[in-house]
Structure 1
Amino acid sequence: MPNFDLTGRVALVTGSSKGIGFALSQGLAEAGARIVMNARGLDDLETAAERLRGTGAQVDTLPFDVTDAQAARDAIDGYEADGQIDILINNAGMQHRGPLEEFEVDAFDRLMRTNVNSVFYVGQAVARHMIGRGRGKIINIASVQTSLARPGIAPYTASKGAIGNLTKGMATDWAKHGLNCNAIAPGYFETPLNAALVADPEFSAWLAKRTPQGRWGKVEELQGAAVFLASDAASFVNGHTLFVDGGITASL
């Protein structure tokens, strides 16, 4: 199916050394894309890159801190000097749990810088090049918390709600330049970020009852959504948040 073929495209995936970022890198690579992997930790990044190369994928690495606007711009401009980024997946993120009335200001600021500011920094830096070419795909990783809240994670919920609206804003400003800007909102997936919850039998039992499909998601189940939104098959999809959540947002 040629509309889903990413051969010849280059995809930058932030926070791609593990978890959802690595799985999305795998999925895009299987669809033919060259992958530019990003993370702050050099050792983890190189290990992940070698693992992906072992599958036959074409992989570059681009280490920089997504919460540093100048570092992001310098790294992206440097890569664009010799190549181009056709697809961006803003995946880097963090979680910090705690009662809202006791939530530390520094923790709130750090969470917002990682989950929201980074999407603006990296998205803007990449979009400036995409606009000049008249095409590009930006996919932001939102969350089931983009539309739902749960006790103990109000700041995270705020950050992912912001991603949903920032995605709409990107589409509104940049669609006229040929860019498609969308988001994927994962439900509850087995990732290092959710390790404590996965290991909690009580929470896992609650999740199985709350989710119509009755289980945790597997990160590989996000790959199809990413390939679709990164491909020509989604040429008229813009400003949309695609929930991949086993039905949790559809059910009371």
Structure 2
Amino acid sequence: MSETTDMTDMTDMTDNPYSGLFRLDGRRAVLIGAGGIGHELALGLAAHGAQVICADRDADVARAAAAATGGEPLVLDVTDPAAVERAARDAGPVDVLVHTAATNVRKRILDYSLDEFDRVVGLNLRATFSVVQAFGRGMVERGTGSMILFSSIRGSVVEPGQSVYAATKAGTEQLVKTAAVEFGEAGVRVNAIAPGVVETPLTAQIRNDDAWYTAYATKGALGRWARPSELTGAVVYLASEAAAFVTGSTLFVDGGWTAVDGRFTPPA
């Protein structure tokens, strides 16, 4: 006795509700900080269908990212609150906001100047607050949106010379939680991504020191540094419907750095 398959009973994959779970078609995304990691994020957002506005203080960087994604360049200094307000207004309805811009002065506390303190806090925390406020206002009014702010493993674990940077990243994560609570009833999600060490031009000095490179590489569970492209999936996830019930969270993309208890591997 032969068996036959009724093809009408098979699910048409084109109608599968999960097939487009990570798609961003028709969504307008603003990416602030379009160089290095940001450039890869812009490529990833565009590849999933988003229209990307590539914002950076450096006009050449903004134009390069826009050209690579078919998006729009925007010259923006986020330390200027009025400029941030204008950008949020002129961008039109924004569905996704990704903010990566940050700086660091690597010095021990006793060597830090107040000018350096103000510079790091001014970009990493004050400007981040301005961005959340300006773009969050439009999202709340429209009743939809996903905001993704970049934190760091330094928001949770520290090392000498990272005091102010670490404080700003911890502050960013608390800002994310508060914004998630305040914007949540309007349907707006707010999350953070915390990378570990990433191979970018900004980390070139550290990577060129063999001892430093190895120490950082072996700190994580995967035993290596991240490539900028490896942060893209997390951003696409948080921007998409795949993360529709995720808000107020920090997603660690750190190769297991924060899971490892020190660099020493004891004998079994």
- Residue 129 of structure 2 aligns with which residue? 120
Distance 1:97 1:10 in 2: 36
Q: Deviations over 1:191-223 (max 9, x none)?
A: 122121111111111112211100010111111
User: Could you say what secondary structure the match of 1:139 adopts?
Assistant: strand
Q: Does 1:63 align with 2:72?
A: no
CA contact (8 A) 1:95 1:193 kept: no
- Residue 5 of structure 1 aligns with which residue? 23
% identical aligned pairs: 39
CA drift at 1:41: 1.6
Aligned residues: 243
Distance 1:58 1:177 in 2: 31
Equivalent of residue 21 in structure 1, options 20, 38, 45? 38
Distance 1:152 1:35 in 2: 35
TM-score, normalised with respect to structure 2: 0.88
CA drift at 1:176: 0.6
Query: Which of the pair has more CA radius of gyration?
Result: 2
Q: Structure 1 unaligned runs (5+)?
A: none
CA drift at 1:78: 1.8
CA contact (8 A) 2:54 2:63 kept: no
* 1:1-252 pair list within 5 angstroms: 1-16=19-34, 18-50=35-67, 52=68, 57-80=69-92, 84-252=93-261
Distance 1:236 1:39 in 2: 30
Distance 1:62 1:151 in 2: 36
Q: CA RMSD in A?
A: 1.0
CA drift at 1:242: 0.2
Distance 1:86 1:250 in 2: 33
Q: Deviations over 1:90-123 (max 9, x none)?
A: 1111111112101011111111111111111111
Distance 2:163 2:70 in 1: 39
Superposed structure 1 runs of 4+ greater than 3 Å apart: none
CA drift at 1:244: 0.3
CA drift at 1:44: 2.7
User: Could you say what secondary structure the match of 1:177 adopts?
Assistant: coil
